[in-house]
Structures are given as C-alpha cells and as structure tokens.
Amino acid sequence: MISPKLVLFALTLSLLAAAAPAPLADDLEPTRIHLRKRVSLTRSDGTFDYDEAIRQNVKTANKIRRNIINVQRNTGQLPSGVIKIPAIATLPSRLLVKRQKVPLTDLEDDSEWAGNITVGTPPRTFFIDFDTGSSDLWIPSSSCNTCQGAGKALYDASKSSTSALKDGTFEIEYGDGSSTSGPIYTDTVTVGGVKATQQYFSAVTSESPEFVGDPADGILGLALPAISNLGQDPFFVTAFKQKHAAQNEFAFKLNTTGSELHIGGTNRALYKGSLEYNNLSSNIGYWQIGNANALVNGKSAASGFQTIIDSGTTIMYGPPDAAKKVYAAVKGSQVYDADNGFYSFPCATPPILAFTWGGKSWDISPDNFNLGETQSGSGRCVGALVGKDFGLGDDVWVLGDSFMKNVYTVFSFDKKAVGFAALE
C-alpha cells in the first residue's frame, strides 16, 4: 500500500494551486484539437503485433525511468514506493534493425493519437503526440541529422523571432541504450487556439531509430510540473497562467474516429451523464488516482491500488503479481510471454475487465481489451493488460489508451482530479 510522503504531496498541491489564478474572459472558448489514431498493436490480419508491443514496453519503461529521475532532481527525493532508479530498458537488437528498414509509407496507417501544434513566429506546424504521462515538450531540431529525410518538421531557432536559447539540456533515453540531449529554448507555442508565450521546450539534435520511425514529430507532455525534465511549467500550465485557456482543465476522447483533445474545458457533446471526479493521490506529478479496484466479469480481482492515467501509453500495465491475479480470474487464460508479461485468453470468451475508484465501474470493451490473435487461427488472443515492473512500486498501475478509449477523460487542475464519464 502506498504511504504518500506528505511533504511532496503538499509540494505538488502548491504547484497546482500556483497554477490556478481566476480565469479571465468570456471571449475564451475551449479549443478542440483533432487527433489521429495511435499505433495499433493488432496487425491488419487481426493478429497480435508482438514486436510493436515489445517496443511499446521499452518506450514506456524508459519514459517512466526518466520521470523518476526528474522527480528526484526537482524535489530531492525519489517518489514514494520507488526504491531506486531503474536501469535503461533496451530492445532486442533484431527489433532495432527491423525498424530501420520499415519504409515510412508503411507508417501512414498506424499514426498515433497525435495532432498539430505550432511553434515560433512565424508559426511552424509540428505533428505531436499528446502525453498525459510526461511534462515536457520536445520537437526535432534543424540540426538533427538522424531526423533529416524522415519527413519530420524541424525547429530552426534562427527562423523564429520569438525564440530564446536557455541554459541546460534535455535528455531522452532510447531502447537501443543510447540517449539524446537537446538545447532548451522558449518560444510561442499554440495548441488549437490556445497560446503559451515563452514556453520552455527542447529541440533534440539526434533521434534513435525508434523515434525516427514514429509518425509524430515530437511529444507534448500534459502531466504536472514535478516530473518535468526541464524543471519548468508544461504547456497547459503556462497557457492557463497567462490566461489563454478558458478553464483549468483539458479532456480527451480517444476512439478510432472522432478523437479529440479539448483544451481549457470539456466538450459536453462527447459524453453523457455526469463526470465522476477522483481526487489525485499522486505525490510525483502524475495524473494519479488511488483506491482503484479491478474487476473481471463484475468480480473484484485486485483492489486498493494506484493508477496513472496516461494517454502516451498504448496499453495497460499492472505489477506482475497483480496482473497474475487478474488473469487468474479470466477463464482459460494462459501466460503467453512470461518475460514480457503478456497473457492470452480464448478469443471466443473475452473477459470484461473494469476499473472502479469507488464510484461507477468503467468497463473495457472486449475490442479494446483484445490485442489480437497470437497467430492466425489459434483462437487465443492477447490481453491489453500486461504484467510489468517499471520500478514504480508494487501497487502502481499505468492505464493507457486501452482504458481511455472506453471513457471521456477530464484532467482537472481546478479540482486536482481526474474525471470520467460515459462516451456519448
């Protein structure tokens, strides 16, 4: 069970409070960003894309590792429950080689939940993955050699009249064991109609094949300041402080079609009933809510855990023991890949996995739980809950798009809470 370090929790809350002046303006409308679909772990023939799933595991592990380092640097302590900084996660070399050979045209269909932002004056468009599991904005630099020719938009500070170079460097670790760093700038950033001036971000000067092959140019982090690598306010916090966002919250609908990020409010047309808000329990800068329970076909299979709601993660991860308990409640389930935490179940009888935080029980549809058949005709399908120890402690789960696709999700700085509602 988590025992939050109250000092850090108070720090997080004070950061939140500092970011909440009374919003201005009747003329400020919430703004919508159209999103494209995230990379799929199911191939077009309905089978499970094992290699892509391994890449996602490694990417998520390294993002979480970097967040842990950032918290330690920003607060002087490791997040509660974290014993040590995890090692860099690496891909098997065969996957790195394969990725390099994938022609870019093949990636058109499996774009991420990404949308356009602009950076600089005059504005330059970047296609960005919106990530509620990190807190920094980074885009490729015009001096990034590995980014050239990969169809990426590049940031050239000399071509923006509002650009300013800042001290320090930004770092990202990759699955090939390498890392990159980039200089830090401030510039004007707009997401939909919402603008932040003098927004901190990094322009990275190299990328490993796993990011070069990614259809998005970069990432915009939407989590709280405590996990910022730059040690600065993330985009939305800046925009709200500058009174450029109508309300101090943003919301996602993720689906095959009609996905959107609503900045500075919620879109009433996209959900029905009321929003169920769950107070943040995090002491580490995540959109983290506690007192969670997992149910399989209506029966509790795990309870009293913490959940990080992360739009930048494709599937769902629980600690290995907890995932084991959940699958023990799934009739006919088997371990599919013990090393990587994958389980399979009979495709004909998918379980209904649901999460509850003390209120309503939020079901994951069989389609969203199913990552595809282990091989064509096997009759066994891989589940979207994976047992993986990311070093966050033994009661922290990460719920990504496989969960978020089933609900309307509101991330509220105002209420210091994550809200869920049924999709319209």
Ligand X SMILES: *[C@@H]1O[C@H](CO)[C@@H](O)[C@H](O)[C@H]1NC(C)=O
Q: Point out the catalytic residue in the list 49, 110, 129, 131.
A: 131
115 binds ligand X (CB under 6 A): yes
Q: Which is closer to ligand X, CB of 158 or CB of 257?
A: 257
H or E element at residue 319? none
120 binds ligand X (CB under 6 A): no
CB of 313 vs ligand X, minimal distance in Å: 20
CB of 182 vs ligand X, minimal distance in Å: 23
Place of tokens 């990725």: 99
Reply yes or no on whether 367 is catalytic: no
CB of 86 vs ligand X, minimal distance in Å: 31
Q: Taking the CB of residue 43, how many other CB atoms lie within 10 A of it? A: 15
CB of 96 vs ligand X, minimal distance in Å: 28
Q: Which is closer to ligand X, CB of 228 or CB of 266?
A: 266
Residues 188-247 that bind ligand X (CB under 6 A): none
CB of 358 vs ligand X, minimal distance in Å: 7
Strands 380-383 and 370-373: antiparallel
R_g of the chain, CA atoms, integer Å: 20
Residue 49 DSSP code? -
Q: Point out the catalytic residue in the list 129, 187, 310, 363.
A: 310
* Interface mask toward ligand X for 18-37; x: CB under 6 A: ----------------x-x-
Local structure of 396: helix, strand or coil: strand
In terms of Cβ atoms closer than 10 Å to its own Cβ (0-12, 13-18, 19+), residue 63 is: buried
Reply yes or no on whether 167 is catalytic: no
Q: Which is closer to ligand X, CB of 280 or CB of 296?
A: 280
Q: Quick check: 111 and 174 in contact, CB under 8 A?
A: no
CB of 77 vs ligand X, minimal distance in Å: 24
Rounded distance between C-alpha atoms, residue 400 and residue 406, angstroms: 11
CB of 257 vs ligand X, minimal distance in Å: 4
291 binds ligand X (CB under 6 A): no
14 binds ligand X (CB under 6 A): no
268 binds ligand X (CB under 6 A): no
Rounded distance between C-alpha atoms, residue 275 and residue 288, angstroms: 17
Q: E strands within 192-341?
A: 194-204, 218-221, 249-253, 260-263, 271-279, 288-296, 299-309, 316-318, 334-337
Of residues 381, 312, 256, the one with CA closest to residue 129: 312
The count of residues interacting with ligand X (CB under 6 A) is: 13
Q: Which is closer to ligand X, CB of 125 or CB of 274?
A: 125
Place of tokens 């919402």: 194
Contacts of 326 (CB under 8 A, 6+ apart): 294, 296, 301, 302, 318, 353, 385
Q: Which is closer to ligand X, CB of 35 or CB of 91?
A: 35
CB of 112 vs ligand X, minimal distance in Å: 10
Contacts of 100 (CB under 8 A, 6+ apart): 209, 213
243: which strand partners?
none
293 binds ligand X (CB under 6 A): no
Q: Which is closer to ligand X, CB of 285 or CB of 319?
A: 285
169 binds ligand X (CB under 6 A): no
Q: Which is closer to ligand X, CB of 16 or CB of 204?
A: 16
Q: Contact with ligand X (CB under 6 A): which of 14, 93, 100, 125? A: 125
What would the two tokens of residue 202 be? 């990094």
DSSP per residue, 167-185: EEEEEEE-TTS-EEEEEEE
Residues 374-413 that bind ligand X (CB under 6 A): none
Q: Which is closer to ligand X, CB of 153 or CB of 381?
A: 153
Q: Quick check: 56 and 94 in contact, CB under 8 A?
A: no
108 binds ligand X (CB under 6 A): no
What would the two tokens of residue 384 be? 């979207």
* Interface mask toward ligand X for 236-265; x: CB under 6 A: -------------------xxxx-------
Active site residues: 131, 310
Catalog residues that contact ligand X under the rule CB under 6 A.
34, 36, 115-116, 125, 127, 255-258, 279, 416, 423
